[in-house]
Chain A
């Protein structure tokens, strides 16, 4: 029994199941090395189906978002079993579908499109609604990866060369294990108000501006030629979701879609 697994909603049996599943997964990765990525472990806990795998990719996401709607937790090779078990227990205890993977594994993949396709099927959304939801979630994920986990700030006024440089920085930083291994955790659930999607990162957080108006436009209303080329992500999220809020010091955004 892991004494640190303090998840009040979980029974002793669930805790034992988590420990065994994680130990199996971690042992498998230790002995099989990179090949272990081909042998993910699935486990049933508290009514959840969870896939534990070393190297999630588009095929993994398609699999977990298929008929079974499995949750997913990345267990990197060499992971600490206690840390993984603790994360898994906490996520299961929250009772929401989740995917928790490193940002380098989820960035530039089809994950958001696949997730939205699954949500659209669950909630009977039309293509247009699904596209707009996908746009908001894409923006939130990009923010979480780039500004959250990778701790990169984009400049207010930039040229096309600066655009290229900035995204080269993104590629460079995401390849560094200290940044690229930081997790993104996506959860989704429905309540009486509608469909929620949350995205959490492991960056240092931020304070969202209370006044969402462009500060440059507010300060210089006459200088209309100075137009923002970036920083529109939060406006887009606000416009395309029914409501949203941030938590964990700005490291988590939760967006509501669907019912009014």
Chain B
């Protein structure tokens, strides 16, 4: 998986691309660190370039969310499509996280 981070106003936006699986735990550690360091009060994970996610990837999204919560930041997801959107639906992520189109 590739990721990049930039700011959109007062929101820290992380853009994920490629395939998100268990092998990406190092990247997720960097995302979590970034969330801890940013002055932004809100964070968004943009999934529009993410091709696929597996069950481990879903678990790591929850870790990111929990970490944001611990740091007093809000976090939402946006742009999920195809297989990624289906996986979020199966796992009922809309009951746990804010998911935007």
Contact status A232-B58, CB under 8 Å? yes
Contact status A235-B63, CB under 8 Å? no
In the complex, whether B44 has a CB less than 8 A from a CB of chain A is no
Contact status B90-A167, CB under 8 Å? no
| A-B pairs under 8 A by CB, number | 72
Restricting to B37-95, which residues have a CB under 8 Å from any CB of A?
52, 54-56, 58-60, 62-63, 66-67, 82-83, 86-87, 90-91
In the bound complex, CA of A160 to CA of B54 (Å): 16
A127 to chain B, nearest CB (A): 8
In the bound complex, CA of A227 to CA of B97 (Å): 11
Q: Select which of B25, B83, B91 is within 8 A of A232 by beta carbon.
A: B91
A199 to chain B, nearest CB (A): 15
B16 to chain A, nearest CB (A): 15
- State which size class the interface on B falls in: 20 to 34
Chain B residues contacting A158 (CB-CB under 8 Å) are: 59
Contact status A163-B54, CB under 8 Å? no
Most chain A beta-carbon neighbours within 10 Å: one of B22, B26, B28, B60: B22
B37 to chain A, nearest CB (A): 15
Interface of A, secondary structure class, is: helix
Chain A residues contacting B67 (CB-CB under 8 Å) are: 160
List chain A positions with a Cβ less than 8 A from chain B.
108, 128, 131-132, 134-135, 138-139, 142, 158-161, 163-164, 167, 224, 227-233, 235-236, 239-240
26 contacts between A and B (CB under 8 A): A128-B82, A128-B83, A134-B52, A135-B87, A138-B54, A139-B54, A142-B22, A158-B59, A159-B63, A160-B25, A160-B29, A160-B60, A160-B67, A163-B59, A163-B60, A163-B63, A167-B22, A224-B96, A229-B62, A230-B56, A232-B55, A232-B59, A235-B90, A236-B55, A236-B90, A240-B90
List chain B positions with a Cβ less than 8 A from chain A.
22-23, 25-26, 28-29, 32, 52, 54-56, 58-60, 62-63, 66-67, 82-83, 86-87, 90-91, 96
